């Protein structure tokens, strides 16, 4: 049992190391926005978009010292 536990822990450490490396190498963050922009829920979708834009303005379009490029598809 202790041998199996150490194998699981080593596997998790390798998995985390593989996932962290690409994130640290990023030069910008691409963020998408998806919401309903037609039909009866148009007002909610527009309100969410306005809140999203306000939040991005509040953080000066940066997250963690990386610039954010956001994608909005109507």
User: Looking at the 3D structure of the chain, how many domains does it have?
Assistant: 1
Provide the domain limits for residue 25. Answer: 2-72
Q: Are 29 and 68 a contacting pair, CB within 8 Å?
A: yes
Q: How confident is the model at residue 24 (pLDDT cuts 50, 70, 90)?
A: low
pLDDT, mean of residues 31-45: 86
Is the per-residue pLDDT at 30 higher than 70?
Answer: yes
**Model pTM?**
0.56
Give residue 32's pLDDT.
85
Q: How confident is the model at residue 20 (pLDDT cuts 50, 70, 90)?
A: low
* Residue 67 exposure: Cα atoms within 13 Å on the Cβ side: 3
69/62 Cα distance (integer angstroms): 9
């Amino acid at each position: 049992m202790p041998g199996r536990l150490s194998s699981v822990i080593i596997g998790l450490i390798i998995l985390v190391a593989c996932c962290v490396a690409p994130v640290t190498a990023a030069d910008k963050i691409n963020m998408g926005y998806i919401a309903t922009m037609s039909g009866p829920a148009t007002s909610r979708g527009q309100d969410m978009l306005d809140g999203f834009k306000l939040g991005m303005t509040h953080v000066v379009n940066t997250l963690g010292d990386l610039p954010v490029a956001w994608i909005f598809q109507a």
